[in-house]
Amino acid sequence: MRFSFSWSTRHQQVIFKQRFNFSSNFNNLNRSLNAHIKPFSLPSSQRSFSKTSSFNNIDLQILKERLCEVVGPPNISTAESTRLQHGKDESHHRAQIPDIVVFPSNTQEVSEVAKVCTDMKVTMVPFGTGTGMEGGCVCTHGGVSVDLSRMAEIREYQQADFSVCVEPGVTRLALNEYLRGDGLWFPVDPGADASLCGMAATSASGTNAVRYGTMRENVRNLEVVLSDGTIIHTAGQGRHTVKSSAGYNLTNLFVGSEGTLGFITSATLKLYGIPDTMTSAVCQFDEVERAVTAVLHVLQCGVAVARIEFHGSEKQTEEDASVVGDIFADAGASGFQWASSLSERNRLWKARHDTLYAILATRPGPQITQLSTDVCVPISQLTKAITDTEKDLEDHKLPGYILGHVGDGNYHVTFLYDTGSETETQLVGKLSERIVERALELNGTCTGEHGTGFGKKKYLVREAGPDSVSLMKQIKHLLDPHGLMNPGKVLP
């Protein structure tokens, strides 16, 4: 069974109210979202295909011809619209576009593309679904965007071994639809229907992390193309064992590397059985401290939870629900909404996953944009981190919305601000930095699941220490000696 608990503060109650209002009136929602669509105009130097790269003296026509020999003319683009699409993710970071976009269809083509780019010293940036939140796919040095979405095969499915090998074009929802008939699923759920290989690249997690862990705990093997075109299998070709103590853990080296060490062209993932019974619920607390305390008590009771969720048989469901209900009632929870049917459970979680759209609807306008940041702290420090953040928002009278994964200490803050106002823009930047600094002061991390990208690389030395970052740079240089793989990301 699955018990889904979503804590809420005064800020969050507005979110869910807006979401349910707009879910029943799509016309209003569409008008609100359209108000946030901003026209974007490229600099005149980038509107048409140039003869040379805007970042170096590479002859782009020769580069294009060589890449066409690898992937074929239909699988390469220099169109402004395509380049723009591949120079922006869902973050607030401004678009920085590639010179060329290529669409390889298999690992060998990715390898040959890498060889061409290395030979001509052209930068390469992997692209999956573009759902990142820290500018991971932004092409800071122009170059080639390598769109892996056309590699969309499920290569190997071992039902008895609870294992599946997928290519970058396979998304989370597509995989679970494929598996559903066999009673299996892949539970890591960041909200977006992201590329599974992209999720591995950012070490994504989401609302199920308490029970199932992050991508780091659920990837058994990776196929990776290095910058020089070398193809490796981090755990050995075809291997998908539950555990291994042989050699260095190369798989986890590439999980979370965000395309800076190589292209992930397949990921072998750990699968789970779909629970027999699932029940979801939403409730509210007047104080964050009460919510966190209640969650800690649930975890200490040994209830098998996921987002705060528990899975099992119908009998176990009733027992766990009784325990959790008593704990939450003692902590002052109210406004319970229970859901047992699939449609009702999906409705509750869709409200959580679509929160960003509800937030945008609260402040429409062509110059209004959002900045969403995430941090993670030890659970014991979560109350302080959130209450201090709430105070910052109230003191500065700035629209801000807090969402959290109470069970693992990860929380998100989304700001809405007017890009035409220098005062608001600077204030949002200042408050975003303060959230990260506070997390680091509490022995947390600058990002729990969004990734480092180039938005948070400046915090890495403070978090990991100069010697650790120096070692990371040596690893980067060893695997990518010319600095061509997704430059400007992760490492300061």
pLDDT in tens, 226-267: 999 999 999 999 999 999 999 999 999 999 999 999 999 999
Domain ranges in the chain are 57-149, 157-273, 277-341, 362-453
Kindly state the average pLDDT of the residues 52-66: 82
Kindly state the average pLDDT of the residues 295-301: 79
pLDDT above 50 (res 28): no
Which pLDDT tens digit goes with each residue over 12-27? 332 222 222 323 333 3
Which pLDDT tens digit goes with each residue over 71-123? 999 999 999 999 999 999 888 888 899 999 999 999 999 999 999 999 999 99
Kindly state the average pLDDT of the residues 354-364: 84
Which pLDDT tens digit goes with each residue over 194-213? 999 999 999 999 888 888 89
pLDDT above 90 (res 335): no
Separation of CA 446 from chain center? 14
Q: 250 versus 53: which is more confidently predicted?
A: 250
pLDDT at 42: 53
pLDDT above 70 (res 48): no
- The answer to whether the CB of 88 falls within 8 A of the CB of 132 is no
* CA distances to 130, 205, 352 from 360, in Å: 19, 23, 14
- The answer to whether the CB of 269 falls within 8 A of the CB of 166 is yes
Measured CA to CA, the distance from residue 366 to residue 100 in angstroms comes to 29
pLDDT at 36: 45
pLDDT at 323: 78
* CA distances to 92, 100, 179 from 479, in Å: 30, 24, 35
pLDDT at 301: 77
Kindly state the average pLDDT of the residues 150-165: 98
pLDDT at 148: 98
Measured CA to CA, the distance from residue 260 to residue 477 in angstroms comes to 10
pLDDT above 70 (res 181): yes
Domain 362-453 has what CATH class? alpha beta
Q: 334 versus 429: which is more confidently predicted?
A: 429
The CATH number of 157-273 is which of 3.40.50.620, 3.40.50.300, 3.40.605.10, 3.30.465.10?
Answer: 3.30.465.10
pLDDT at 31: 40
pLDDT at 317: 63
The full 3-state SS of the chain, as one line of letters, equals: CCCCCCCCCHHHHHHHHHHHHHHCCHHHHHHHHHCCCCCCCCCHHHCCCCCECCCCCCEHHHHHHHHHHHHCHHHEECCHHHHHHCCCCCCCCCCCCCCEEECCCCHHHHHHHHHHHHHHCCCEEEECCCCCCCCCCCCCCCCEEEECCCCCCEEEEEHHHCEEEECCCCEHHHHHHHHHHHCEECCCCCCCCCEHHHHHHHCCCCCCHHHHCCHHHHEEEEEEECCCCCEEECCCCCCCCCCCCCCCCHHHHHCCCCCCCCEEEEEEEECEECCCECCEEEEECCCHHHHHHHHHHHHHCCCCCCCCCCCECHHHHHHHHHHHHHHHHHCCCEEEEEECCHHHHHHHHHHHHCHHHHHHHCCCCCCEEEEEEEEECCHHHHHHHHHHHHHHHHHHCCCEEEEEEHHHCEEEEEEEEECCCHHHHHHHHHHHHHHHHHHHHCCCECCCCCCCCCCCHHHHHHHHCHHHHHHHHHHHHHHCCCCCECCCCCCC
Measured CA to CA, the distance from residue 137 to residue 98 in angstroms comes to 10
pLDDT at 9: 35
pLDDT at 187: 93
pLDDT at 21: 30
The letter for the amino acid at 139 is C
Site of tokens 């059985």: 273
Which pLDDT tens digit goes with each residue over 360-414? 888 888 888 889 999 999 988 998 999 999 899 999 988 789 888 778 899 999 9
pLDDT at 23: 32
Fold match, 57-149 / 362-453: no
pLDDT above 90 (res 147): yes
pLDDT at 210: 83
Measured CA to CA, the distance from residue 39 to residue 204 in angstroms comes to 30
pLDDT at 356: 76
In the beta sheet, which residues pair with residue 312?
277
Site of tokens 């996953």: 353
pLDDT at 51: 61
Q: Which CATH architecture has domain 57-149?
A: 2-Layer Sandwich (3.30)
pLDDT at 94: 85
Share of the chain above pLDDT 90, in %: 58
pLDDT at 313: 59
Mean pLDDT of the chain: 85
Kindly state the average pLDDT of the residues 183-187: 96
